[in-house]
Amino acid sequence: MIILIILRHLQSLIIKYYMREKKNIWIFLTTNNVGGAELRFFGLWKYANTKNIYDFNFYLVGSSLLFEALINKEKENYKLELRNSPNFFKYDLSGSYLNYKSQFKLFLKNNIAEKDILHFVDGHPLIKTDARQIFSITQSSLRNLNIKGKISQFIGAKYADVVDVLDPNIFKLLKTLFFNKKNKVYITTNSYCDVDKFETLPFEDKKDWFVFLGRFEHLKQVDKLIDILPDIYNKIKGKFTNDLKFVFLGYGSMDDLLREKIKKPSFKEIPILIQATLSPQDILKYSKFFFSLQLNNNYPSRSLIEAMCSGNIPICTDVGQTKWLAKPEFSFYVPEYFTFTDFEKVFNDMDKISKQDLTKKGALARQTVMNEHTIEKMFDYYFDKYKQLTSA
């Protein structure tokens, strides 16, 4: 009799476990442009849905324009499945702040339940909600923002129940400003790379290709790099003879400017390619060196992680937390406001290194990504925050 009662009790608990109400996680992407942050959280959403976690439904909210741009970067056999996903809400939250706020209020009214968790990425509607909030500040430096932008980040942090911060300096500042909830301010653990997608050839089989991958914007300093490219080419053309080439992959407001620059006579003999691509892995697989020359910070640059995963040796601006990712054991550095002389020193240092040691650097760059920058590690970090909010 006692055994029967115990079995019935266990059965009741099992039924309640599987019939319990799921909690909804809503991840809000507010831009129409694909950058590192958008790729990071799009990947988080995809991975979460493959996990089929009983307690949670994971939804992504963003514009149709952004969603199509993200899907176009996916493998062909996966695109249709993503387009038909019921867990993506095509909802345009871009534009002016007043438009964002009014659109969000309408979305909140029509879709959000009190027990849901709202995860705002970079942009925040600056309102308090009954649902719990996590706010991810994805800026690598406050120097990237104007005064209005800085203020909106702080107000968003004030309204959020948990704040996830990329930059350690912003992290320290928020810990000080919001001392009453300093135990709810966290620093992002990592970005990630699809290690199966970004493969590499053995270093000795690679070409002498130098690659830039990213947006053609002032912050990336791609225009400054092209300005000194003739001097760099003349410096290294005698040493790097295995199909030496400079490849610039990306798009942005400087696209036309860059193409005009390389029409100058000084570029006539330089092997250079400028193009947008949906498959950077097809280039990075063969290249040896990667330029990551951003102002303020190169951490945790998605393109830098992809290049490292493909066995490329980074040449980076030594700013912010760049060395957390592009570590001194396998990287070379130039100052934030570099000149040709700084690159000349880098190539002089390379001259002192054997081919075997360069090979080791490429292998170590890839191994760093394999160890530290996986989707599993990133998911575990955010899932822990979601569980913290549901139990609060």
Q: pLDDT at position 145, please?
A: 86
20 pLDDT higher than 50: no
* Cβ pair 235, 210 in contact under 8 A: no
Q: pLDDT at position 194, please?
A: 87
Amino acid occupying residue 108: L
Q: pLDDT at position 5, please?
A: 52
**Mean pLDDT across 134-146:** 89
User: Using one digit for the tens of pLDDT, what is the confidence trace for 71-87?
Assistant: 988 878 788 888 889 99
User: Using one digit for the tens of pLDDT, what is the confidence trace for 3-14?
Assistant: 645 544 554 444
339 pLDDT higher than 90: yes
User: Using one digit for the tens of pLDDT, what is the confidence trace for 158-171?
Assistant: 999 999 998 888 99
Closest to 285 in 3D by CA, of 315, 300, 305, 307: 307
Q: Is the peptide bond before 300 cis (omega within 30 degrees of 0)?
A: yes
**Mean pLDDT across 368-392:** 91
* Cβ pair 121, 61 in contact under 8 A: no
What domains appear along the chain, each with residue ranges and CATH number? 22-190+374-391 (3.40.50.2000), 203-369 (3.40.50.2000)
Band (pLDDT 50/70/90 cuts) for residue 392 is low
123 pLDDT higher than 80: yes
47 pLDDT higher than 70: yes
Q: pLDDT at position 10, please?
A: 56
Burial class (CB in 10 A: 0-12, 13-18, 19+), 176: exposed
Q: pLDDT at position 3, please?
A: 65
Whether the model clears a pTM of 0.75, i.e. scores above it, the answer is yes
What percentage of the chain carries pLDDT values higher than 90?
Answer: 68
Q: What angle do CA 134, 135, 138 make, to 5 degrees?
A: 140
Closest to 220 in 3D by CA, of 198, 245, 248: 248
SS3 content of the chain, % helix, strand, coil (to 5): 50, 15, 35
* Cβ pair 374, 192 in contact under 8 A: yes
User: Using one digit for the tens of pLDDT, what is the confidence trace for 165-207?
Assistant: 988 889 999 999 887 777 899 999 889 988 888 999 999 999 9
What average pLDDT does the structure give for the chain? Answer: 90
Q: pLDDT at position 132, please?
A: 95
**Mean pLDDT across 95-122:** 88
User: Using one digit for the tens of pLDDT, what is the confidence trace for 235-283?
Assistant: 999 999 999 999 999 989 999 999 999 999 999 999 999 999 989 999 9
Bridge partners, 132 (sequence order): 117
User: Using one digit for the tens of pLDDT, what is the confidence trace for 273-309?
Assistant: 999 998 999 999 999 999 999 998 898 899 999 999 9
* Cβ pair 312, 287 in contact under 8 A: yes
Distance (Å, whole) CA 366 – CA 309: 4
Closest to 240 in 3D by CA, of 313, 166, 316, 146: 313
Q: pLDDT at position 169, please?
A: 87
Q: pLDDT at position 259, please?
A: 97
Q: pLDDT at position 179, please?
A: 79
Q: Two tokens at 81?
A: 């499945």
**Mean pLDDT across 111-123:** 93
**Mean pLDDT across 212-219:** 94
223 pLDDT higher than 90: yes
Band (pLDDT 50/70/90 cuts) for residue 54 is low
Closest to 62 in 3D by CA, of 82, 76, 80, 79: 82
**Mean pLDDT across 120-131:** 92
Band (pLDDT 50/70/90 cuts) for residue 55 is confident
